[in-house]
């Protein structure tokens, strides 16, 4: 690999890792609090992309406004999911999860009917051109993902560790019974977790909209990656999700550059298999006795 | 006489249904016969998937396992000239072997993690088919599977293939039913209820989980063979997530607590699927919505509405179990 | 050679040493009690012996063979079985069904046999044995009741019946009389004695109920902070100063049950 390709691949890896991190962190958080996951998480990502398509491409809004709006919109979707699906199924975690599998279908059809299926949506790239680093060229549109993702992750960390509500959320994830005894409302925390999961997935989708193909089915590829990252990181560990996102992001991008994205995903799955055999609780997950 | 009566009373509806199934193909249009053929494969898939979930392992790879059987059929029937009657079980064995292999890492996982791991490995296999042109044919798949023959009878016609696949279905369903009622089946249910207890009572949980997955995969493979022979080809796009989601919908809406639930589910939903052909674009939403509503208002599935459904003595009506820790949300 | 020989056993969880440097010998035919204040490591000890946890160090041998680090089902097959502190049942089965499932080790069934139904003779023998055990433990009247519907005392008894159904030579009971009324406790005590006297099963029990321990155990091991504190007959233990001091530091007072 020559130096230009190497630099390009390294930078693209960081972009990929950023997206993976955004998508996985929300999932890990929701999982930590509710002990259940949302299979429609890929569709959350998709709705984030569509927000940019609808507002920016169709509606002429400023790109950044569209991206910013994707967060509350998908956060709202997350809250709706919590209220309409997770709350009625209550303690039956399996039922709740299976219901989100159905939710995925519902969202795909809804989006497809409103804005059409078939041809992927083209979104004009707001940031044309590429940065020149040495001999390498990396599109600006890709590069701006990195600071956005990092900003979101830092904000999230600050929220979880320095703000009262965030600390309550963490307490809920680690010791729900103790948290309840201290007066923390688990229902509110669950909604909050789903809101944050939605916001981060939505942001990821929004940022990727100009880069990726926008179709109602784009969630399928994302959901697999998101869950693999969470498993490798350790199902309820947010730090683990970020670490796994970096490792898997780099693996995927390098392998894709050398062969293609199918093989890239396959190697990622292979890495997960190895992790499961060597360290089944995940990189930063809690150990079983 | 009454003792015998009671014991075999349950067989009557089964025999009646089988008799009906034997008569109707002669009175249906060819198009409907083809749908029935697919339905028989779906029944095998539903019953075998439920077998796997008896231990509590809800996986997402079952349709891929069908694909493994289909690809095995495509390759062996086409290049090694293996006859139909050998190929169907052989496809099952190949799939069982693949299932045993992927189960090794998956044993480290339970519940949600198992679901994702099985999803990931399934996708891995599907990508392998799409990537590797020799022998899997890449994204185009494999075509030119020889037309099946059974004891000299050509199975190319709809009615003939209908009976061949019905025969496979009956055998499969019978075996799965026997296993469910056996000590092995009880061991699986014990594992589902309390796997540490089962382990301490001498049940090697790893071995039995693997057994359930392998046997379930075997039958998925036979369904794959049936599909490959009928289509004359295999296409990786036949084994995508969407198909797996429909399988889950059949089993969940029918109810997985008893053996019959998934069969009821697959039957009713196959009918619903055909009825909704006019609303093709809305269909996934319809089915997804049905799944959500069913899980909220009828989590036990349709079978929970039928208390008369005979269950083996001592087996109470079961509910879905929590997979994970004892922590409850909300 | 003792039935169960444990040397230098330790189990650590992260930084916490739940069991440290523990030696324990249990002879065949004993009824041994293991007591200690809450959190002393008694259940952890059972978990390590029965295979639920891997030991961090030390050796465990049962009938001369090492069982450290083996699967619980393997250890059960070798003849050492435990019950749980929590009431653990197969909720969807009735009493006989539960005991029947626990006959697993003595009901070899192959897939082919299951499909063809060839095991009926063996199953008949197992059913007979299961009923025998159910009667022995005193659950004969409720044998067709669903396990979830039983009274607490009956459920705990069922736990014991299931463990016995595996035909163990060593039975480890974790708080067998927890939550029982005096009548039920007396009955369970009788059952434990019968298990040893009539069926030659060696019994180790972890218990907090001192009266039961004093009544049925022939020797007692006291554990505190994961270490062996004292060992001897019940009378010796009750008058042992270290033991009294260990208990005075916790909520349980040794003398209270008297």
For an interface test with B, the pick among A33, A35, A79 (most B C-beta atoms closer than 10 Å) comes out as A35
Q: For chain A, which chains pass the contact test of at least 3 CB pairs under 8 Å?
A: B, C
Mean of the pLDDT values across residues B105-127? 91
pLDDT digits (tens, 9 = 90+) for B230-244: 999 999 999 999 999
Q: What are phi and psi of C247, to 5 degrees?
A: -75, -30
Contacts of B325 (CB under 8 A, 6+ apart): A35
pLDDT digits (tens, 9 = 90+) for C6-61: 999 999 987 888 899 999 999 999 999 999 888 888 999 999 999 999 999 999 99
Count of CA atoms in the C-beta half-sphere (13 A) of A278: 9
Search chain A and give the residue with CA nearest C12. A289
Give chain C positions within 8 Å (CB) of B193. 90-92
Model confidence at A84: pLDDT above 60: yes
Rounded Cα gap, residues B177 and B265, in angstroms? 16
pLDDT digits (tens, 9 = 90+) for B41-67: 999 999 999 999 999 999 999 999 999
Least confident of A234-238, B206-210, B217-221: A234-238
CB C202 within 8 A of CB C196: yes
Count of CA atoms in the C-beta half-sphere (13 A) of C176: 32
Domain map (residue ranges) of chain B: 21-239
As to burial, measured by CB atoms within 10 angstroms (0-12 exposed, 13-18 middle, 19+ buried), residue B287 is: buried
Q: How far is A289 from chain C (nearest CA, A)?
A: 5
Rounded Cα gap, residues A227 and A241, in angstroms? 10
Mean of the pLDDT values across residues C183-210? 92
Q: What are phi and psi of B216, to 5 degrees?
A: -60, -45
CA A35 to chain centre: 17
- Chain C window 14-53: which residues touch A at a Cβ cutoff of 8 Å? 47, 52-53
Search chain A and give the residue with CA nearest B285. A106
Give chain C positions within 8 Å (CB) of B315. 92-93, 97
Looking up residue C19, the CATH number of its domain turns out to be 3.40.50.300
Pairing relation of β-strands C227-232 and C57-62?
unpaired
pLDDT digits (tens, 9 = 90+) for B59-88: 999 999 999 999 999 999 888 888 899 999
CB atoms within 10 A of CB A199: 25
For an interface test with A, the pick among B292, B293, B324, B328 (most A C-beta atoms closer than 10 Å) comes out as B292
Model confidence at A236: pLDDT above 80: no
Contacts of A72 (CB under 8 A, 6+ apart): A199
Give chain A positions within 8 Å (CB) of B120. 224, 227-228, 231, 269, 272-273
Q: What are phi and psi of B319, to 5 degrees?
A: -115, 165
Mean of the pLDDT values across residues B100-112? 91
The verdict on B5 touching C (C-beta cutoff 8 Å) is no
* Interchain pair B322, A86: CB under 8 A: no
Model confidence at A107: pLDDT above 50: yes
Give chain A positions within 8 Å (CB) of B327. 35, 176-177
Q: For chain B, which chains pass the contact test of at least 3 CB pairs under 8 Å?
A: A, C
pLDDT band of B112, cuts 50, 70, 90: confident
Give chain A positions within 8 Å (CB) of B58. 94, 98
Count of CA atoms in the C-beta half-sphere (13 A) of B81: 0
Peptide bond into B286 cis (omega under 30): no
Model confidence at B148: pLDDT above 90: no
CB B330 within 8 A of CB A87: yes
The H-assigned helical ranges of chain A are 3-34, 41-52, 63-81, 87-89, 93-115, 140-143, 145-162, 164-174, 176-181, 186-208, 219-233, 238-258, 261-278
**Which residue, C43, C6, C35, is CA-closest to C23?**
C6
- More confident position, C72 or A132: C72
SS3 state at C34: strand
**Which residue, A270, A281, A279, A222, is CA-closest to A49?**
A222
Which residue among A31, A99, A186 sits closest to B292, beta carbon to beta carbon? A99
Mean of the pLDDT values across residues B210-216? 97
Helix axes A145-162, A238-258, angle to 10 degrees: 160
Give chain C positions within 8 Å (CB) of B190. 90, 93, 101
The verdict on C54 touching A (C-beta cutoff 8 Å) is yes
pLDDT digits (tens, 9 = 90+) for C132-170: 999 999 898 888 989 989 988 899 999 999 999 999 999
What is the per-residue DSSP string for A240-275? HHHHHHHHHHHHHHHHHHHS-HHHHHHHHHHHHHHH
Task: Find the angle CA(B245)-CA(B309)-CA(B321) to the nearest 5 degrees.
Answer: 50
Instruction: Count the domains in chain C.
Output: 1
What is the per-residue DSSP string for C135-149? HHHT-GGGTTSBGGG
Q: What are phi and psi of C10, to 5 degrees?
A: -140, 150
CB C27 within 8 A of CB C2: yes
Q: Percent of chain A at pLDDT above 70?
A: 97
pLDDT digits (tens, 9 = 90+) for B22-33: 998 888 888 899
Q: Which residue range is the domain that position C51 belongs to?
A: 4-254
Contacts of C139 (CB under 8 A, 6+ apart): C95, C154, C157, C158, C161
Model confidence at A132: pLDDT above 90: no
Torsional sign, CA C245, C251, C254, C256 = positive
A35 Rama sector, left if φ>0, alpha if ψ -120 to 50, beta otherwise: left
The pLDDT score that the predictor gives to residue A118 is: 63
* Interchain pair B329, A269: CB under 8 A: no
Contacts of B239 (CB under 8 A, 6+ apart): B63, B64, B66, B67, B70, B126
CB atoms within 10 A of CB B1: 5
ipTM for the complex shown: 0.90
Which value, to the nearest 10 degrees, does the dihedral of the CA atoms of residues A266, A271, A272, A273 take? 90
Q: What are phi and psi of C2, to 5 degrees?
A: -75, 155
The pLDDT score that the predictor gives to residue A178 is: 79
The pLDDT score that the predictor gives to residue B313 is: 39
The pLDDT score that the predictor gives to residue B203 is: 95
pLDDT band of C249, cuts 50, 70, 90: low
The pLDDT score that the predictor gives to residue B307 is: 67
The pLDDT score that the predictor gives to residue C92 is: 85
Rounded Cα gap, residues B313 and B310, in angstroms? 9
Which residue among A86, A106, A224 sits closest to B123, beta carbon to beta carbon? A224
pLDDT band of B314, cuts 50, 70, 90: very low
Model confidence at A121: pLDDT above 70: no
Structure tokens at B322: 């929590």
Model confidence at A287: pLDDT above 90: no
Count of CA atoms in the C-beta half-sphere (13 A) of A43: 20
pLDDT digits (tens, 9 = 90+) for C90-131: 988 999 999 999 999 998 888 888 888 888 888 889 999 999
* Interchain pair B296, A99: CB under 8 A: yes
* Interchain pair B282, A113: CB under 8 A: yes
Mean of the pLDDT values across residues B200-217? 96
User: Residue B259 belongs to what H/E stretch?
Assistant: none
Give chain C positions within 8 Å (CB) of B213. none
Rounded Cα gap, residues A76 and C143, in angstroms? 53
Give chain C positions within 8 Å (CB) of A289. 11, 13, 47, 52-54
* Interchain pair C93, B314: CB under 8 A: yes
Which value, to the nearest 10 degrees, does the dihedral of the CA atoms of residues B108, B114, B116, B117 take? 40
Rounded Cα gap, residues B36 and B225, in angstroms? 16
**Which residue, C192, C100, C218, C90, is CA-closest to C147?**
C90
The pLDDT score that the predictor gives to residue C258 is: 39
- Chain B window 170-229: which residues touch C at a Cβ cutoff of 8 Å? 175, 178-179, 182-187, 189-190, 193-194, 196-206, 211, 215
The pLDDT score that the predictor gives to residue C66 is: 94
The pLDDT score that the predictor gives to residue B328 is: 32
The verdict on C69 touching A (C-beta cutoff 8 Å) is no
Model confidence at C75: pLDDT above 50: yes
Search chain B and give the residue with CA nearest A102. B288
Mean of the pLDDT values across residues B294-303? 86
Model confidence at B330: pLDDT above 50: no
Pairing relation of β-strands A130-133 and A136-139?
antiparallel
Give chain B positions within 8 Å (CB) of A219. none
Rounded Cα gap, residues B113 and B160, in angstroms? 43
Q: What are phi and psi of C35, to 5 degrees?
A: -125, 170
Structure tokens at A120: 């992927």
Q: How far is A178 from chain B (nearest CA, A)?
A: 11
As to burial, measured by CB atoms within 10 angstroms (0-12 exposed, 13-18 middle, 19+ buried), residue A180 is: middle
Mean of the pLDDT values across residues B173-194? 94
Structure tokens at B308: 């008369």
pLDDT digits (tens, 9 = 90+) for C200-238: 999 999 998 888 998 999 999 999 888 998 999 998 888
B vs C: CB pairs below 8 A: 112
The pLDDT score that the predictor gives to residue B6 is: 66
Model confidence at B111: pLDDT above 90: no
Indicate the DSSP class of residue A58: I
CA distances from C150 to B297, C102, C108, C127, C157 (A): 29, 18, 29, 21, 10
Mean of the pLDDT values across residues A140-153? 90
Structure tokens at C215: 């009544």
* Interchain pair C88, B194: CB under 8 A: yes
pLDDT digits (tens, 9 = 90+) for B252-286: 999 888 899 999 999 999 999 998 888 888 999 99
The pLDDT score that the predictor gives to residue B320 is: 34
Mean of the pLDDT values across residues B195-209? 95
* Interchain pair B112, A103: CB under 8 A: no
* Interchain pair B291, A102: CB under 8 A: yes
The pLDDT score that the predictor gives to residue B11 is: 80
A vs B: CB pairs below 8 A: 160
User: Residue B252 belongs to what H/E stretch?
Assistant: helix B241-254
Q: What are phi and psi of C118, to 5 degrees?
A: -85, -5
Q: Percent of chain B at pLDDT above 90?
A: 63
Scanning the structure block, which residue is given the tokens 């309820």? A236
Give Dmax over CA atoms of chain C in angstroms.
65
The pLDDT score that the predictor gives to residue A120 is: 65
The pLDDT score that the predictor gives to residue B2 is: 66
Q: For chain C, which chains pass the contact test of at least 3 CB pairs under 8 Å?
A: A, B
């Amino acid at each position: 690999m020559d130096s230009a390709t190497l630099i390009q691949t390294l930078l693209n890896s960081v972009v990929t890792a950023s997206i993976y991190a955004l998508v996985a962190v929300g999932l890990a958080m929701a999982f930590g609090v509710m002990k259940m996951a949302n299979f429609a998480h890929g569709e959350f990502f998709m709705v984030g992309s569509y927000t940019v398509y609808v507002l920016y491409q169709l509606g002429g809004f400023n790109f950044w406004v569209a991206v910013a709006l994707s967060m509350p919109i998908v956060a709202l979707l997350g809250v709706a999911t919590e209220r309409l699906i997770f709350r009625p199924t209550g303690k039956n975690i399996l039922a709740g999860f299976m219901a989100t599998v159905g939710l995925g279908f519902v969202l795909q059809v809804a989006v497809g009917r409103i804005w059409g299926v078939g041809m992927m949506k083209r979104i004009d790239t707001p940031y044309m051109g590429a940065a020149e680093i040495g001999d390498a060229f990396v599109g600006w549109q890709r590069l701006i993902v990195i600071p956005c993702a990092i900003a979101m992750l830092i904000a999230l960390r600050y929220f979880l560790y320095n703000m009262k509500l965030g600390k309550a959320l963490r307490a809920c994830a680690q010791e729900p019974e103790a948290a309840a005894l201290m007066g923390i409302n688990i229902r509110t925390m669950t909604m909050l977790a789903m809101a944050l999961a939605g916001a981060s997935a939505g942001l990821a989708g929004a940022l990727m909209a100009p880069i990726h193909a926008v179709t109602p089915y784009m969630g399928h590829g994302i959901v697999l990656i998101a869950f693999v990252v969470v498993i490798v990181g350790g199902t309820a560990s947010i730090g683990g999700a970020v670490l796994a996102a970096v490792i898997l992001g780099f693996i995927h991008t390098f392998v894709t550059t050398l062969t293609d994205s199918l093989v890239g995903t396959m190697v990622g799955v292979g890495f997960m298999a190895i992790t499961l055999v060597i360290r089944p609780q995940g990189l930063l997950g809690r150990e079983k006795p | 006489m009454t003792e015998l009566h009671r014991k075999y009373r349950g067989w009557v509806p089964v025999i009646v249904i089988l008799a009906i199934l034997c008569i109707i193909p002669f009175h249906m249009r060819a198009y409907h016969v083809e749908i029935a053929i697919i339905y028989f494969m779906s029944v095998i898939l539903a019953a075998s998937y439920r077998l796997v979930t008896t231990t509590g392992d809800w996986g997402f790879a079952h349709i891929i396992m069908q694909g493994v059987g289909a690809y095995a059929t495509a390759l062996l029937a086409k290049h090694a000239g293996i006859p139909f009657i050998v190929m169907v079980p052989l496809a099952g064995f190949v799939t069982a072997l693949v299932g045993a292999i992927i189960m090794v890492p998956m044993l480290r996982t339970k519940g949600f993690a198992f679901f994702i791991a099985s999803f990931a490995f399934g996708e891995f296999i599907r990508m392998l088919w799409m990537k590797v042109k020799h022998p899997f044919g890449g994204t185009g798949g494999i075509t030119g599977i020889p037309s099946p023959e059974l004891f000299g009878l050509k199975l190319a016609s709809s009615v003939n293939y209908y009976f061949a696949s019905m025969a496979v279905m009956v055998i499969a369903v019978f075996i799965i039913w026997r296993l469910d009622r056996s000590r092995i089946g009880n061991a699986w249910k014990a594992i589902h209820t309390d796997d540490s207890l089962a382990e301490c009572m001498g049940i090697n949980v790893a071995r039995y989980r693997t057994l359930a997955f392998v046997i379930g995969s075997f039958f998925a493979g036979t369904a794959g063979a049936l599909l490959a022979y009928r289509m004359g080809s295999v296409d990786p796009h036949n084994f995508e997530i969407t198909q797996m989601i429909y399988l889950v919908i059949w089993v969940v809406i029918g109810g997985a607590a008893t053996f019959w639930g998934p069969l009821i589910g697959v039957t009713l939903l196959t009918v619903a699927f055909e009825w909704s052909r006019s609303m093709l674009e809305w269909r996934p939403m319809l089915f997804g919505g049905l799944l959500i509503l069913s899980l909220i208002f009828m989590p036990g599935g349709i079978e929970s509405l039928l208390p008369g459904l005979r269950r083996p003595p001592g087996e109470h009506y079961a509910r879905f179990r929590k997979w994970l820790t004892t922590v409850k949300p909300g | 050679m003792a039935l169960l020989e444990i040397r230098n056993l330790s189990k650590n969880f992260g930084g916490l040493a739940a069991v440290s440097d523990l030696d324990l010998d249990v002879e065949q035919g004993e009824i041994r009690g293991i007591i200690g204040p809450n959190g002393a490591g008694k259940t952890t000890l059972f978990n390590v012996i029965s295979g639920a946890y891997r030991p961090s160090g030390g050796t465990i041998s049962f009938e001369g063979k090492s069982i450290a680090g083996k699967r619980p089902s393997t250890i059960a097959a070798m003849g050492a079985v435990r019950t749980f502190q929590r009431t653990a049942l197969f909720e969807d089965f009735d009493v006989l069904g539960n005991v029947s499932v626990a006959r697993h080790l003595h009901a070899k069934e192959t897939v082919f046999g299951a499909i063809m139904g060839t095991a009926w003779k063996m199953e008949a023998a197992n059913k007979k044995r299961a009923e025998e055990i159910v009667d022995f433990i005193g659950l004969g009247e409720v044998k067709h009741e669903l396990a979830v519907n039983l009274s607490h005392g009956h459920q705990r008894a069922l736990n014991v019946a299931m463990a016995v159904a595996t035909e163990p030579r060593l039975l480890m009971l974790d708080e067998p009389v927890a939550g029982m009324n005096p009548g039920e406790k007396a009955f369970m005590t009788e059952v434990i004695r019968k298990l040893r006297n009539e069926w030659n099963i060696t019994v180790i029990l972890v218990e907090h109920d001192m009266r039961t321990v004093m009544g049925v155990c022939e020797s007692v091991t006291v554990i505190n902070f994961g270490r062996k504190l004292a060992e001897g007959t019940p009378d010796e233990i009750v008058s042992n100063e270290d033991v009294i001091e260990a208990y005075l530091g916790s909520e349980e007072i040794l003398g209270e049950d008297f």
